[in-house]
């Protein structure tokens, strides 16, 4: 009786296992290894749901695995199996296409393991096979979307660069116009009034002319300063590093900030990028003046490689606390946030490290080309 109970329990266990396999998306194959081919000995019944062929189709040899392998994938699979065999691999996995009974191609992934007898001889190959067609389609769609996204990002960066170049050209045009037109006209007017001033016949006339001269002088100085701020002449003919030397002198003259400058001229940097970095450094030095509470700062220019430049602005002032975003807003305000966005548009970055009482370091990294 006990034996019968055990037999009945074993039968129920096997029956439950069979139902589990039938409902599983994984198809199980067992191939016998023979010279030149692998006849199927066992295949789970859910193969019919996957491929449309019955277990008998495979076991009888009416359907062969090479016969249903997609012709475009067959040479690759054959070579992979040869390589695996030569390497002595007992376990491997592959992805390829099979043709169902109605000729529809599906992508499958298999997991294979070589089985050995007691003497260590390879006798069978056990394989678990799963349909990954949907996953493959989603992966390909995702890849296509990523390619499209990369293309869009490249277009946006190109557009951002073109906008920056247009902006810099406009600044340069305004600076030239202020110098060539407004300043020269003001200078001429000043000269004419000066001539009138020399021939003044009354104290009232003399006073009015002098007041006009003072006003014109202020306008002339303001226009010169505006032209210089819009596009410093040294940036037209000198380059990035000479521009920074000029900026260091101006910060000392106007704000009492002594700037220590280090680095060498960067090869291959466009004038538009030079101007963008120049304005960025100027913004950062203004921040030192406004927020750091110190009279010294340093600017280091480093060419990391043939295609990348880094500019580091450092001070030992009051510093800021908080995460990166908070430091950006509290230490730099909208100017620093705007600079970070402009750098990001051309593939660059801005990083801030700040410690209360120890100062702030801002690193700008941009591609040259």
Long-range pairs for 344-352: beta carbons < 8 A, 24 or more residues apart? 345/156, 345/157, 345/160, 345/161, 345/164, 346/157, 346/160, 346/161, 346/164, 346/273, 346/276, 347/157, 350/280, 351/324, 352/324, 352/327, 352/328
State the pLDDT at residue 196: 64
State the pLDDT at residue 279: 85
Q: In what order do the strands lie in the sheet with 296-305?
A: 258-263, 296-305, 308-315, 359-367, 349-355
Query: Would you tell me how many other CB atoms lie within 10 Å of the CB of residue 132?
Result: 16
Report the candidate in 46, 22, 21 with the shortest Cα–Cα distance to residue 54: 46
Average pLDDT rounded to a whole number, residues 249-272: 87
State the pLDDT at residue 99: 94
Out of 3-17, 60-74, 183-197, 315-329, which region has the weakest mean confidence (pLDDT)?
Answer: 3-17
Average pLDDT rounded to a whole number, residues 186-196: 69
Out of 45-59, 145-159, 205-219, which region has the weakest mean confidence (pLDDT)?
Answer: 205-219
State the pLDDT at residue 355: 86
Please determine, for residue 159, whether its predicted confidence score (pLDDT) is greater than 70: no
State the pLDDT at residue 324: 46
Please determine, for residue 193, whether its predicted confidence score (pLDDT) is greater than 80: no
Please determine, for residue 207, whether its predicted confidence score (pLDDT) is greater than 80: no
State the pLDDT at residue 8: 60
Residue 56 confidence class, pLDDT cut points 50, 70, 90: very high
State the pLDDT at residue 88: 81
State the pLDDT at residue 261: 93
State the pLDDT at residue 105: 94
Average pLDDT rounded to a whole number, residues 145-153: 84
Give the pair of three-digit tokens for residue 320: 């800021």
Of the two residues 250 and 5, the one the predictor is more confident about is 250
Give the pair of three-digit tokens for residue 155: 């277009």
pLDDT, averaged across the chain: 80
State the pLDDT at residue 149: 86
Average pLDDT rounded to a whole number, residues 185-205: 66
State the pLDDT at residue 325: 45
Give dist(CA 115, CA 126) in Å, integer.
Answer: 7
CATH 3.10.20.880 fits 15-131, yes or no: no
Of the two residues 1 and 138, the one the predictor is more confident about is 138
Out of 102-106, 193-197, 247-251, which region has the weakest mean confidence (pLDDT)?
Answer: 193-197
User: Which residues 6+ apart lie within 8 Å of 308 measured at CB?
Assistant: 365, 366, 367, 368
Of the two residues 17 and 366, the one the predictor is more confident about is 366
Residue 2 confidence class, pLDDT cut points 50, 70, 90: very low
* H or E element at residue 3: helix 2-23
SS3 assignment, position 261: strand
What sign has the CA pseudo-torsion 287, 241, 239, 367? Answer: negative
Please determine, for residue 306, whether its predicted confidence score (pLDDT) is greater than 70: yes
Give the pair of three-digit tokens for residue 117: 């007898």
Of the two residues 258 and 305, the one the predictor is more confident about is 258
DSSP conformation class of 39: -
User: Which residues 6+ apart lie within 8 Å of 338 measured at CB?
Assistant: none
Residue 267 confidence class, pLDDT cut points 50, 70, 90: confident
State the pLDDT at residue 231: 65
Q: Is the pTM of this model over 0.85?
A: no
- Per residue in 311-331, is it b (16+ CB within 10 Å) or e — as a string? bbbbbbbbbbeeeeeebbeeb
Of the two residues 334 and 211, the one the predictor is more confident about is 211
Please determine, for residue 329, whether its predicted confidence score (pLDDT) is greater than 80: no
CATH 3.30.565.10 fits 238-369, yes or no: yes
Please determine, for residue 3, whether its predicted confidence score (pLDDT) is greater than 90: no
Residue 95 confidence class, pLDDT cut points 50, 70, 90: very high
SS3 assignment, position 293: coil
Average pLDDT rounded to a whole number, residues 87-102: 90
Average pLDDT rounded to a whole number, residues 254-272: 87
State the pLDDT at residue 320: 76
């Amino acid at each position: 009786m006990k034996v019968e109970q055990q037999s009945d329990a074993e039968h129920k266990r096997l029956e439950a296992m069979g139902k589990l396999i039938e409902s599983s998306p994984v198809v199980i194959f067992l191939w016998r290894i023979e010279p030149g081919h692998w006849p199927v000995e066992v295949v789970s019944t859910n193969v019919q749901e996957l491929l449309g062929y019955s277990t008998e189709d495979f076991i009888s040899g009416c359907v062969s695995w090479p016969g249903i392998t997609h012709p475009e994938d067959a040479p690759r699979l054959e070579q992979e199996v040869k390589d695996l065999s030569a390497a002595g691999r007992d376990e491997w996995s592959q992805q390829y296409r099979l043709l169902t009974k109605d000729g529809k191609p599906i992508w499958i992934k298999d997991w294979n393991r070589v089985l050995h007898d007691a003497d260590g001889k390879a006798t069978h190959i056990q394989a678990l096979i799963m349909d990954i067609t949907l996953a493959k389609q989603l992966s390909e769609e995702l890849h296509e979307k990523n390619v499209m996204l990369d293309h869009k990002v490249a277009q946006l960066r190109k557009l951002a660069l073109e906008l920056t170049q247009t902006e810099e050209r406009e600044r340069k045009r305004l600076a030239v116009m202020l110098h060539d037109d407004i300043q020269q006209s003001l200078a001429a007017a000043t000269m004419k009034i000066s001539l009138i001033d020399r021939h003044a016949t009354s104290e009232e006339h003399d006073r009015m002319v002098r007041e006009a001269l003072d006003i014109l002088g202020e306008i002339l100085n303001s226009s010169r300063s505006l032209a210089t701020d819009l596009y410093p002449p040294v940036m037209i003919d000198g380059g990035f590093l000479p521009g920074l030397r000029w900026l260091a002198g101006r910060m000392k003259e106007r704000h009492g900030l002594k700037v220590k400058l280090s680095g060498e001229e960067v090869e291959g940097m466009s004038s538009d990028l030079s101007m963008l970095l120049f304005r960025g450094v100027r913004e950062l030095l203004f921040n030192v003046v406004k927020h750091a509470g110190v009279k010294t700062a340093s600017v280091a220019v480093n060419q990391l490689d043939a295609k990348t430049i880094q500019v580091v602005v450092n001070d030992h002032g009051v510093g800021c606390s908080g995460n990166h975003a908070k430091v950006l807003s509290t230490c730099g305000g909208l100017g620093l946030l705007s600079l970070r966005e402009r750098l990001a548009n051309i593939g660059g970055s801005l990083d801030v490290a700040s410690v209360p009482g120890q100062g702030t370091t801002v690193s700008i990294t941009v591609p040259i080309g």
